[in-house]
Structure 1
């Protein structure tokens, strides 16, 4: 991993999932299963000895960027208000914070993901003009995957 001066990124994504908030939360808690429904997530490993999601829970994630490189980072849960919100610390190829919020709606759940991260990787920062596009691509694939996972036709997902 070659390093350079850190470059900061801020991304906000909204998903609308036609499923109850509890089911969305359960699917996100099942981190080990993300590669099965979230294209782009190559590996996901949850480190939760107790089997519960609580502050201090960590997960290693490897994402394949559509720009041709991988991002390897650790998510550490700092705050949780299940099933409506979580805050994360991010370290590794990306460093910073992430926030997830869920709002129940008549037709399902509106989920908002916010990332305020920085990277010192040359490959990442060389592609910074395309970072927003790459992030939207990966997140849109995740939304489609979660919609399919939680569709009444395909199953329930969850932890």
Structure 2
């Protein structure tokens, strides 16, 4: 088992229509406004940016996200990630009841040296840290959607 390889999936039920949720998720430069753990997004061009995140644990992760797929009709946004983490992430937004289901999938390998050194004992804590970040992101997005 590669202790530095992770697969994550989060499902967010949201009270807004899929098109509204998609419109918010396709603007990562705005994530810091509603997602506290997304500390900074610097656009490099129309499809690439540098993102700095920090959740409950006292370390930042910085990576470049490059759009590799965008399909508004199917609600899909996909990015390739490189830097402290390497791999991909995908949002898929679909109708769910009177609102939406935003599914976040991520498959990454960690390259940040400290996290690699702590891979075996830290793995459960790193996974919990990610879960906290995702729960906070959902809460932030809910609040943001109420204001839109």
TM (norm. structure 1) is 0.82
Within the candidate set 134, 140, 144, 1:139 is matched to: 134
Residues 149 and 67 of structure 1: CA distance in aligned 2, closer, same or farther (over 3 Å) = same
Partner of 2:124: 129
Partner of 2:76: 85
Partner of 1:72: 62
Does residue 1:24 correspond to 2:21, yes or no? Answer: yes
The structure in which a higher percent of residues are helix is 2
Structure 2 distance, partners of 1:32, 1:67, is 23
Partner of 2:30: 33
Structure 1 distance, partners of 2:137, 2:5, is 23
Query: What's the CA shift string for 1:102-142, capped at 9, x where partnerless?
Result: 11122211011111100122322313221211111001111
Partner SS for 1:150: helix
Structure 1 distance, partners of 2:55, 2:141, is 19
Q: CA deviation at 1:45?
A: 2.1
Partner of 1:120: 111
Query: What's the CA shift string for 1:69-106, capped at 9, x where partnerless?
Result: 00001111111111501221100100011121111122
TM (norm. structure 2) is 0.88
Structure 2 distance, partners of 1:87, 1:41, is 17
Does residue 1:9 correspond to 2:9, yes or no? Answer: no
Partner of 2:42: 45
Q: What is the number of equivalent residue pairs in this alignment?
A: 142
Q: CA deviation at 1:47?
A: 3.4
